[in-house]
Structure 1
Amino acid sequence: MMQRVRLKDVADSLGLSVNTVSRALAGKSEVSPATRQRIQDEADRLGYVPNTLARSLVLGSNQTLALVITNPSNPLYAELISGVEVRARQHGYSLLLLVTEESTENERAAVEALLRSAVDGAIAVPVQSEHEHWRRLNRAGIPLVLVNRDIPELDTDFVGVDNWRGAYDATRHVIARGARTVWALEEDLPITTIAERIDGFHRALDEGGLPSAARDVVAVPTRRYESSALPWQAEGAYTLCRDLIAERGAPDAVITGNDYFALGLMRALAELGYRVPDDVLVTGYGDHPYAGFVSPSLSSVRLPGSQIGAAAVDLLLARGEEPTDQPVKRRIAPTFVARDSTARGATTPDATATA
């Protein structure tokens, strides 16, 4: 982690006095336009923080944390917001929320806003398509903690769900109940959370001795680029699965990447004459509030959103006190909740299910 760039750093780089650099960046007339531009260019290159933030640091703290997320309607992120806000308030901080809607352009604009603002640190769910703007935030010395999606190229702290474990446990659960052909139903989006779940899915199948021909990853076309307000819809999974199962037949089990997809899948199965769980086992991901009330009730992976939010705030505040420490990477395990959609007698021991 890099320390905050100071006026002295800019001055030393140019061989000028701190007073000259300070006057130039403040727009004072005593500095020539050419020198002012040279100083501004060097300040931008080094990632010097604008004076609004510098003044707040001189005073001690502005007592404000920023949370940058892709989509507030995602139930996990709704819990994350609550967890961050509650823990921040406990420490006397207010919360600034920025939403990117899975847009790199919006994300860059959010980072620019943070560089101009007097925030004490930022927590972010990154879009993951680019990361140079996050490097600028790091160079500016503003503490940053990534949540849910990591960017390994950045020297940055991370707190997220152990998505590998969530998918692994769900897959192991259906194998223990006799499934020998298993699909993973995931959104067609190139993000680490999905890649991690697919890895966990394959590992459980490998350990269960299921060959490649007995598994498939089915990608549901994403709608996030159309509207972040409705990132998942049951309709997309319903249409895709209806056509695919009518053509190929149903597998023994389907591990879905979110509960919306599970609902669409179950409707498609019912229309095609398949019964859940007698013919096909189905698991969701996220354990949304309705999961226990649909028929059959949906087995799902419960995510620790509030816990992640609180942990991110704690890590961010600790990072502000020790800016040179090595980055921390923490993954919090989710919990598999077994319900009627996988209520078939276990054929092998299974320790993943909970009430």
Structure 2
Amino acid sequence: MSPRRRTTLRDIAESLDLSVNTVSRALADKDAVGVETRRRVKAEAERLGYVPNTMARSLVLQNAMTLGLVITNPSNPFYARLISAIEERGRTRGYSLMLMVTEDSVDNERRAAEELMRWGVDGVLAIPVQHGAEHWERLRKSGVPLVLLNRDLPGLDVDLVGVDYYAGARAATEHALSTGATELYLVEEDLDISPVAERIRGFRDTLAAHGLGAPDDAVVRVDSPEDVSVSIPFDPGPAYGLGASLARRAGPGAVVLAGNDYHALGLCRAFSEQGLRVGVDVGVIGHGDHPFSAYLDPALTTVRLPAPEVGRAGIDRLLEHVETAAGSGGSDGAVTGPTHTLLPPELVVRASVPGTAGGEH
């Protein structure tokens, strides 16, 4: 069976013996068309299965009503919440979302930027790979507004909206010290990205502010497997694998900060198998406040990240640029000079650190 031809405005017009212009105005609820005619046109459009051709409309209006979102890892729970917030906010403003996944590959990111330019999207939100900015510079110079999310690209003259990872690491480290921790470790991904760098900086600066040194081996890196797609869900396995050796190093009262809650999950399992009681003999603090964190035993103290707030602030900023560009007849969409907006995370205290109460506060 051959596919059915798409219903057009002309089909509706011929069916009702009206002009195409009248049908178009009726569907757009223009006052120049009578109420009864509008009712008949909409009923016939429904009967024939008419769907407006958004691409044709965008060519006429020179506005695709579509935004690009370039993301590294959609299975990351933080990014999943970010996408939902962006899509919901965009939908209320009449915009559709075109999602591109890079899996932290600069080649994939370059292709995504080129595809979005070809599709003529109205603006782009991007979590950059952080290895090369030439393709983003080309996109920006082509007149497509760009806002970065969560990761910075120094030298690229655009807005950034993200999380204050430095402040989150400082809050977690201060909390560990306030409970009387005798040793502190930070377990982080072996990735050259700004959130990791900022957490390490916050950890070290907090220790220095208390007159404490942080030996090189206080920051423990978890290998990121190169043969596994980063778009699969986070895996507690690598952190679990190094947990046994870390348990042998950690003395009584040690607290281990983890770069994400999945690492914390792996560490908790490893420590338990080595005979260490999390929340009694050793402390663990996560990062992310993923849904399972409150249901571990003991419940995990962690840093809650403002994913929806980042998403909404990012798309709001982008749409300011989009609307300014449309109003000025195709400028680069500059609203003001580039801004860096870092939203504060929240420390959620539960029971996984010795000397703290078990309830969230």
Residue identity matched to 2:129 = V
Q: Choose the corresponding residue for 2:347, options 329, 336, 339.
A: 336
Give the secondary-structure state (helix, strand or coil) at the position aligned to 2:314: helix
Unmatched 5+ stretches in structure 1: 1-52, 347-352
Work out the number of aligned pairs and report it. 296
Query: So what's the TM-score if we normalise by structure 1?
Result: 0.79
Alignment partner for residue 199 of structure 2, among 188, 197, 200? 197
**What's the CA shift string for 1:292-337, capped at 9, x where partnerless?**
0011110111111111111111100112216233111100001110
C-alpha separation in 1, matches of 2:126 and 2:65: 18
Q: Report matched runs for 1:179-258 at 5 Å.
A: 179-213=181-215, 216-223=218-225, 226-230=228-232, 232-246=234-248, 252-258=254-260
AA aligned opposite 1:190? D
1:340 maps to a residue whose letter is: A
1:286 equivalent in alignment to 2:288: yes
Q: Distance in 1 between matches of 2:66 and 2:344?
A: 29
User: Which digits, 9 at most, give the CA deviation of each residue in 1:15-61, with x for residues without a partner?
Assistant: xxxxxxxxxxxxxxxxxxxxxxxxxxxxxxxxxxxxxx9x9477241
Contact 1:224–1:231, Cα closer than 8 Å, also in 2: no
Does structure 2 conserve the Cα–Cα contact (< 8 Å) formed by 1:181 and 1:215? no
- C-alpha RMSD of matched pairs (Å): 2.1
Q: How far did residue 229 of structure 1 move?
A: 2.6
Q: Which residue of 1 aligns with 2:270?
A: 268
CA displacement 1:91-119 (0-9 Å, x = unmatched) = 11111111111111111110110110121
Offset at residue 248 of structure 1 (A): 6.3
Q: Unpaired runs of 5+ in structure 2? A: 1-54, 326-332
CA separation in 2, counterparts of 1:304 and 1:97?
21
Structure-1 residue corresponding to 2:123: 121
| CA displacement at 1:279 relative to structure 2 | 1.4
| Number of the residue aligned with 2:151 | 149
**1:166 maps to 2:168:** yes
Question: Is 1:147–1:158's contact at 8 Å kept on the other side of the alignment?
Answer: yes
Decide which structure has the larger Cα Rg and report it. 2
Alignment pair present for 1:64 and 2:66? yes
Report how far residue 247 of structure 1 moved.
5.5
Is contact 1:102–1:225 with CA below 8 Å preserved after alignment? Answer: no
- More relative contact order, 1 or 2 (CA 8 Å, 6+ apart): 1
Q: What displacement does 1:240 show?
A: 1.1
Shift of 1:183: 0.3
Deviation at 1:246, TM superposition (A): 2.8
- Relative to structure 1, the CA distance from residue 101 to residue 153 in structure 2 (aligned partners, 3 Å threshold; closer, same or farther) is same
Is 1:111 the equivalent of 2:122?
no
Distance 1:316 1:81, change over 3 A: same
Deviations 1:183-205 (A, max 9, x none): 00000000001000111111211
Does the 8 A contact of 2:72 with 2:231 survive in 1?
no
